[in-house]
Amino acid sequence: MSEMKKIKNLKDFSTSADRFEGANLLCPGCAHSIIVREVLNATNDDLVLSASTGCLEVCTAVYPYTSWDASWIHIGFENGSTAVAGAEAMYKALKKKNRLKQPERTPKFVSFAGDGASYDIGFQWISGCFERGHDMMHVVLDNEVYANTGGQRSSSTPIGGSNTTSPAGTHSYGEKMKKKDMMAIMAAHGSPYVAQVAPNKWKNMVKAIQHGLAVEGPVFINAVSPCTTEWKFAPEDTMMVTDLSTDSLVFPLYEIIGGRELNITYRPKNVVSVRDYMGAQGRFKHLFQPKYEYIIDEWQKSVDADWDYLQRREEARV
């Protein structure tokens, strides 16, 4: 097996040569760069990458500079997934016609997009890619808001969060809708592998990425990406907030194989409260007023119920 095709083990990971350079314009403390670096460093395979319009794209490809040391495509807000799917289809066609100059090289195809470009604007494009069965991976950098265009709510924004289009105030506690369950939606497409991951649990994340790259067919990865600007916490607290997201079970880590088999991949030894998670972020500070505290209690009940559901599904293996 050639060096380019060898899948890296965890010991190799920390000494990997970066294919995503540190010189970019992302905000200090932004988790996007951590996630992207972990994804790209998880494999030695050739990569064909795309990025939908969003924080990642605008901050890593400011003409005439680029942070990407790999084949990279940007088309639009909604269709980064179909851009890389088109490249994958072209590769298969050229291979079938024996027109590849280096047929021994087998690249992996990965698209990156934020929650706005995945949960909302780009959803039908991603759904089409999965329905057609493209051999690709779609990675969501889930910061639960349209951070690049002014902090508007997306269908990933959690209930109670204050943002520019669902602001908290005298007569409103902020976002009214519960976050969309994209993991269940993408698993229902019959995807061979979907996983929810977090950059603070890098070994867990690398294993999920390596598993996703090894299977054939469309793979969906949902990665929590705390946003210092819109979640309103200090840049140096990114990993602390990420720890709270996973240890409070607000963002549980699990995988679904073949659309059915669910496995929880991280169980916190000490589960913290949703109140602690929310208290670390300015976007929820209004909920600690007496008139809105019931939202925190409702959040806790919902998180507990969702965790119970995941455990029951894992036990039942359905």
pLDDT digits (tens, 9 = 90+) for 145-180: 999 999 999 999 999 999 999 999 999 999 999 999
Q: Report whether pLDDT(312) > 80.
A: yes
pLDDT digits (tens, 9 = 90+) for 262-290: 999 999 999 999 999 999 999 999 999 99
Q: How many CA atoms lie within 13 A of 71 on its CB side?
A: 12
Cβ 149 vs Cβ 175: under 8 Å:
no
User: Can you say how many angstroms the Cα of residue 22 is from the centroid of all Cα atoms in its chain?
Assistant: 19
- DSSP string across the chain: --TTTPPP-HHHHTTPPPSB-S---PPTT-SHHHHHHHHHHT--S-EEEEE-TTHHHHHH--TT--SBSSEEE---SS-HHHHHHHHHHHHHHHHHTT--SSTT---EEEEEEESIIIIITTHHHHHHHHHHT-S-EEEEEE-SSBGGGT-B--TTSPTT---SSS-EETTEES--SPPP-HHHHHHTTT-SEEEEE-TTSHHHHHHHHHHHHHSSS-EEEEEE---IIIII--GGGHHHHHHHHHHTTSS--EEEETTTEEEE----SSPPPHHHHHHT-GGGGGGGSTTTHHHHHHHHHHHHHHHHHHHHHHHHT-
Cβ 123 vs Cβ 182: under 8 Å:
no
Q: Report whether pLDDT(10) > 90.
A: no
Cβ 256 vs Cβ 222: under 8 Å:
no
Identity (one letter) of the amino acid at 128? G
Q: What is the pLDDT of residue 3?
A: 43
Neighbours of 252 (CB within 10 A): 21
Identity (one letter) of the amino acid at 171? H
Q: How confident is the model at residue 4 (pLDDT cuts 50, 70, 90)?
A: very low
pLDDT digits (tens, 9 = 90+) for 204-257: 999 999 999 999 999 999 999 999 999 999 999 999 999 999 999 999 999 999
Judged on CB neighbours under 10 Å (0-12, 13-18, 19+), 190 is middle
Q: What is the pLDDT of residue 217?
A: 97
Please tell me the pTM assigned to this model. Answer: 0.94
